[in-house]
Chains A and B, each alone.
Chain A
Amino acid sequence: MSHDVLVALPIVIPLATAVITLFSYDSRAHQRIISTIGSGALLVAAIALLWTVNQDGILVSEMGDWPAPFGIAFVADLLSSLMVLMTGLTALTVSIYALGSMDPRRESFGFYPVFQILLMGITGSFLTGDVFNLFVWFEIMLIASFVLIALGGERPQLEGSIKYVALNLVSSMILLSAIGLLYGMAGTLNMGDLGLKLQDVDQPWLVTTVGTLFLVSFGIKAAVFPMFFWLPASYHTPPIAVTAIIAALLSKVGVYALIRAFTLIFTQETGYTHQIILVIAGLTMVTGVLGAVAQTEVRRLLSFHIISQIGYMLVGLALLSPLALAGSLFYVIHNMVTKTNLFLISGVANRLQGTYELKKLGSLYRYHPYVSVLFFVSALALAGMPPFSGFMAKLTLVRGSLEIEHYVIVAVALLTSMLTLFSMAKIWTEGYWTPSPAEVDGELPPGVEKFPGWTRQMVALFIPIIVLASLSVGMGILAQPVISLLVDTAEQLLDPGLYIEAVIGDEP
């Protein structure tokens, strides 16, 4: 019984928080407090869930006590609970950051309830054990993200959201069609049951065809090559707190869905599908980082880096070896922490100097050294320099790929991380070292150079950044427990029998 509660809590808490914030729609102050408490509670529930799953194995909760595969089952294995934990962490940090950065108009037009609904859609996608239910959670998440991106109604936001809405809806329709075909083939939509029934199907190529539809649909959501163009066209338009949360979580939901589908359901012709995924992963890494090198606006530059990092996350899935998959999962976690932090720091830089353009930024190192140190840590972590989290993630991934002798993808990954370092160095020199163009006679005009002081707003901006930066350092230095947990996760994923047995049970 308590297990059922544990699995349901990460979905129920954001829902309850959203409802309560809606009740206090008139009071921004109440909404802010409730939303922060709700995100904190989500993090606590996620920690409890991961702890229990790590101790007791896969937890299954059958809604309404309908036994699987007839009812809808919610399944928390190590991967799901790990992703829920990361959702809780980013949710809490961005909630606190939003307290200091969100403008009153957006707050009073329902930013907090929609934010919580977004969280509910994301945790629901991670926990559900039913393909159609996954589609429904996707739609909840999407509609909330549509509102968050468009909220405020500025011209760039609206232009960005048209592209975002159109392409994500196309992806949903492809997913729905694929689910329909899958149901026609297997007569079930429970993921565990599908994994069981599709093992001994007569025409494996037919299953692979449907699998390719899933690959396209989840690929659009994860923003992989060549279907990523909506991401850099829309992610940089909303306020920075919104950009941070969608950049941290939304494309990772796509990655999660790909990992889940191609380790559990479509395992018939791994030689064919996973070769495609490997090529896609390589091309995603390279095109993403090349796009980033060409950019001079910090948020657009970081958006392209999201794409490039998605490539790393798919390499492990393509290679299907425990160590490589663990490396990819490390990348997912590391990227959620680091990328969120880079967006948050660029928001602080924007607050200090009023721009995201690298050409107009400058002198941040001279006037704001502590901001610079925080950026430096996250930028090096993203580029994969030791001793930060990115290095350990890359090391695990590269070792995993070398062990099974995939040298080309290793070369591509290392080249990509060099280009990443180059574009991070570009932000560093242009934004932090070069004198600001606003300087006159080597001095900034009065008012611009000064730090606004530790007002409550600035504290709210800095707490999440410091927490995330220290996590990034911590995961690099104390990597052993993280890696062993991730290797356990990868091994659990590569043995779909465990998942199937937990959901369906032993009876035929």
Chain B
Amino acid sequence: METLMALVVGALFASGVYLMMRRSIVKLAIGLVLLSQSANLLFFTAAGLTRGSPPLVPEGETAPPVPFADPLPQALILTAIVIGFGVLAFTLVLVKRVYQTVGTDDLDEMRSTDT
């Protein structure tokens, strides 16, 4: 399972980076989405995958029976997803405004502030 997830994470990272290197700002935004998803998935995998054993404490016990799935990474990833969602919303609006103001979606045409 970990191997499969590692491959998925790698593929997502690669496609995200590839899209960000394209000239279109829309592809840049999609690339950012893929990157953030792959980071979340990497977090999820690296923290350890445990199937079918929720961290529930049986009656009369004080700790869940080992091995149990660690709930903390899931909480953290949830936070990261929400943050990513907010940032994505901002990015999309920015992309639209840039397209309206500059009149093109080609990043190569946006060099006036470069040095």
Interface residues of A (CB under 8 A from B): 132, 135-136, 139, 142-143, 146-147, 150, 153-156, 158-163, 165-166, 169-170, 173-174, 176-177, 179-181, 183-185, 189, 232-234, 236-237, 291, 295, 300, 304
Q: How large is the interface on B (under 10, 10 to 19, 20 to 34, 35 or more residues)?
A: 35 or more
Binding site for A on B (CB under 8 A): 20, 25, 28, 32, 35-36, 38-40, 42-48, 72-73, 76, 79-80, 83, 86-87, 90-91, 94-95, 97-98, 101-102, 107, 110-115
Where chain B touches its partner, the secondary structure class is helix
B101:A153 contact, CB within 8 angstroms: yes
**Smallest CB gap from A232: residue in B:** B115
Q: Contacts A139-B83, A150-B94, A158-B102 given; indicate if A180 touches B39 (C-beta within 8 A).
A: yes
Closest 6 CB pairs of A and B: A180-B43, A184-B46, A176-B39, A159-B110, A173-B39, A160-B113
Q: Which of B25, B35, B45 has the most CB of A within 10 A?
A: B35
B-chain residues with CB within 8 Å of residue A184 when the two chains form the complex = 46-48
* Set of chain A residues within 8 Å of B79, measured between Cβ atoms: 132, 136
| Shortest Cβ distance from residue B39 to the other chain A in the assembled complex, whole angstroms | 4
Q: In the complex, what residues of B have CB within 8 A of residue A304's CB? A: 115
Q: Could you tell me the distance between the alpha carbons of A132 and B83 in the complex, rounded to whole angstroms?
A: 12
* Cα–Cα distance between A300 and B39 once the two chains are bound (Å): 34
> Which B residue's beta carbon lies closest to that of A175?
B39
Contacts of A132 in B (CB 8 A): 76, 79
Q: 16 A-B pairs, CB-CB below 8 angstroms? A: A132-B79, A136-B83, A142-B87, A159-B111, A159-B113, A161-B94, A162-B98, A165-B90, A173-B35, A180-B46, A183-B43, A183-B47, A184-B47, A185-B46, A232-B115, A300-B115
Closest B residue to A185 using CB positions: B46
**CB-based contact A170/B112 at 8 Å:** no
* With contact pairs A139-B87, A177-B43, A184-B48 given, residues A158 and B112 touching in the complex (Cβ less than 8 Å): no
User: Is the CB–CB distance between A155 and B94 below 8 Å?
Assistant: no
Instruction: Report how far A234 CA is from B98 CA in the complex, Å.
Output: 14
- B114 to chain A: which residues have CB within 8 Å? 233
Partner of B113, one of A135, A143, A237: A237
**What is the minimal beta-carbon distance from A491 to any residue of chain B, in angstroms?**
34
A501 to chain B, nearest CB (A): 24
Q: Report how far A184 CA is from B20 CA in the complex, Å.
A: 28
With known contacts A158-B101, A180-B73, A233–B115 Cβ distance under 8 A = yes
Q: Are A143 and B115 interface neighbours, CB within 8 A? A: no
Most A C-beta atoms less than 10 A away, residue of B32, B98, B112, B113: B113
